[in-house]
Amino acid sequence: MKNAAAQQREPQRGLTFEDVWAAMMETDRKFQETDRKMQETDRKFQETDRKMQETDRKFQETDRKMQETNREIRERNREMQKTYKMVGELCNRFGELAEHLVTPNIAEKFRELNYAFTKAGPNVEFFDSDGKALTEVDVWLENGDFVMAVEVKSYLSKSDVKYHLKRMDILRRYLDERHDTRKLLGAAAGAIFKNAAKEYALESGFYVIEQSGDTVQIKPPEGFKPRIW
């Protein structure tokens, strides 16, 4: 019992130099670890900032390219509109030529093929008994025995020929309803023909009228037989 009481009265041992040094070293290690982590975090922030700047640069480059593309598209649209306008004007001018070029000469040209047309007129419209428009013919020729419907185009295509075929059926019904027994003929006139369109027109029984200088020419191929509606 005496020994135990003596041990209880013995003062506690204070911190030694080694304890303090060890604590300081541990604190320094933790500071260094914290500094390393902060440096790593800063490096990641810098990397993130660099990537964000690169992304922003790419967005700016993409935006610049899109603006350039939009500018080119607007420029092309302006050029296309100019082209469409020029083509439209050319087509309109040739349409006007139907009256000034085709009409005055066409009767004379057909007279060389033994058709003595006594009347020729441009842009003739046809209506039913109720006043409803049925069709319109660019050039209409007639005499006591024959009538002829001429389709005039600056650029005659195969689809134009097909449409003219439908027009011929409409005209035949129109004449029959009025007991007009004259023979109905058809022709296709154009400043420019594709071979396929020209061949199709001839196969369909249409006379082909082509521009030749300041007049027109009609030269049916050997063996050509016009269709009579």
Task: Work out the pLDDT band at 8, boundaries 50, 70, 90.
Answer: low
Q: Per CATH, which fold does 97-218 belong to? A: Trna Endonuclease; Chain: A, domain 1 (3.40.1350)
DSSP 3-state percent helix, strand, coil across the chain (nearest 5)? 60, 20, 20
Q: What is the pLDDT of residues 171-189, one digit of tens each?
A: 999 999 999 999 999 999 8
By residue count, the chain amounts to: 229
CA–CA gap between residue 227 and residue 207 (Å, rounded):
9
CA–CA gap between residue 107 and residue 18 (Å, rounded):
129
Domain ranges of the chain: 97-218
Beta strands in the chain (DSSP E): 119-127, 133-142, 146-156, 183-193, 207-212, 215-218
CA 121 to chain centre: 37
Asked if 120 and 106 count as a contact pair (C-beta separation under 8 A), the reply is yes
End-to-end Cα spacing for the chain:
146
pTM of the model: 0.59
Return the pLDDT at 5: 54
Q: What is the pLDDT of residues 58-89, one digit of tens each?
A: 888 888 888 888 888 888 878 878 776 665 55
